[in-house]
Chains A and B, each alone.
Chain A
Amino acid sequence: MKALSLRNLRKTYNNGFEALKGIDLDVEAGDFFALLGPNGAGKSSAIGIISSLVNPTSGSVSVFGHNLKTEREKAKSCIGLVPQEINFNQFDTVKAIVFNQAGYYGMPRKLALQRTEYCLKQMDLWDKRDSVSRRLSGGMKRRVMIARAMVHAPKLLILDEPTAGVDIEIRRAMWKLMKEVNEQGTTIILTTHYLEEAESLCRNIAIIDQGKIVENTDMASLLARLNLDHFVLDLAESVTAMPHLQGYHVEQISGKVLNVAVPKEAGLNQLFNQLSAQNIKVMSMKNKTNRLEQLFMDLIESKPVSANP
């Protein structure tokens, strides 16, 4: 079952800007799907059309088999949206925001109250239910938007940069929450600029650039195409000359810091053998860049995925 199907979706704005140039996309039910792309690539236009905030120029959107144009109410009932920016009434209480949303979905009062309580408890916001929303912290406001999007138990949850601007502790807590929601059967589409987030949460991925889908595959296959990892090595002692490491590209950042590009087929053992042979002691090591970030940059810069350093 397809949770979402886009066919030849196009969007040209009144000023002539062509945001979407005929995209096709399928998301399977139960998936945790990443929709990535640089700013202005067309992500927000696509999300806006799917969630009825933007009118498409042409093409079709189908949500769990319901065409958004001909079966509008059924299609909309399947969707929950967590937008990029805070968009609730800042003068309403937390409970009123979530409860009213249940009302918009036609939920009877008793059930709406139960669902409101359930979602606020799940988001750890029940104690704040009577607080005026503008007094909440940034992280809490984000969680209010997730509770609001979840109140009608949508089958498809769209998270448009849900962790933008929140600190790492809240971000990790939200990742855990998103995983739990997905494990309970909700299909999730995530857009984010934190590629580490997409890499750790999502099973499938599409990358959109200049209004076109430039990549659409599963995360594992995409990452497997990256044949070069970059590592930063912290050395115990300074080296005066840059060490020669056969099969590896080395760059000296400072006396005690080396940047090493490691081809997948070469591996790390050979690297450490060579370093030991030259009496260079490594104290610690870390990935220079996130793996997906490297692929992402390659794809939107139209370079081969396995580009050399």
Chain B
Amino acid sequence: MPRVAAMTGNNAVAESMRQINPDVVAAYPITPQTELSEEFAEFVANGKVDTEYVTVESEHSAMSACIGASAAGSRVLTATSSAGFALMWEMLPIASGTRTPVIMTVVNRAFSAPINIHCSHDDTMGGRDAGWIQLYSENSQEAYDNMIQAVRIGEDMSVRLPVMVAMDGFIISHAVERLELLDDESVKKFIGPYQSVNPLLDTKKPVTYGALALQDYYMESKWQQSAALLNSKAKILEVAAEYKKLTGRSYGLFENYKLDDAEVAIVIINSAAGVAKMVVDELREKGIKAGVLQPRVYRPFPHEEIREALKNIKAIAIMDRTDAFGAGGTPTFTEVTSALYGLTNPPKVINYVYGLGGRDIRVEDIHGVYQRLTEIAKTGKTGKMFEYLGVRK
């Protein structure tokens, strides 16, 4: 039977990790992920999991150990944030390149400098092209649900890729929310036992992982990896459909919030999407046709589906909690505009950087964005395309 609980995002993810009961966790504590590492250590200390917990000396070693443990033939989880994510950067494409389905929670936090422990999406957005599947979560419930689905997706025989599940540092990781949890048995049944592929520990059938592949083979290896990631979309939807049967909770490639007849829309990821949806409800009461597109699956990026969902909108604001310095447009702006490319009468688009380093994104801020979009929809004049929202200049 499902349980209703009040939990922080970190608690919820830790609970999912206990229920997944992985063979190995290798993790290094970093704010705001720390509670996760601590809580999982409690599970280990009290015999609640069968996991071998490797308390590594750095995140580089955390990801290295995860890749080793996965190649050895075991189910592996880890978690990190910000600088820790940056330190394991070298290993991220090695995880996807060796096709080791490591599952990692990333509690989003800003990059230094200046040092800041609060939320930006610098970490996961920076690592978006590392060959991992990326799932984003608005709240604790979604983080919990994404974790359980991630295991099924990454480990699927047609996928075999690592998956990262992102949730906002502090805003979600440290805020208590109501959520529904599955019972242990249902999680166990849903994820099934780990199936290893060519494990290192099968000494009767020796395999070589990580061989040198030069001009003659490297490209084929990368092509296979690319195809697996692009093709994972179908599996992600299949797993979501099955999860819906189990929980009643519906997941897709993104959330389409009142977009179908919308004239103005915001594209926004993670916790701030909650604020945007609330504002949409207020605007709808006033007769303003507003909507939200909230990406969940960022890699593989659902270009066609997003084009389909946005093609009739008049004006769109694409908002990111990170900057792609010097690009003149944030990562999601580039993705969404590329999805819209080729439409005969494409929507007008503007781009905002918001909420860096945990800066609060207020209801009034979002109202302001919709006001500007309504103006653009009316006049057809976009004005300045790229802006920092609410910054003191």
Real binding pair: no
Q: Which residues in B have some Cβ–Cβ distance to A below 8 Å?
A: none
Q: Which residues in A have some Cβ–Cβ distance to B below 8 Å?
A: none
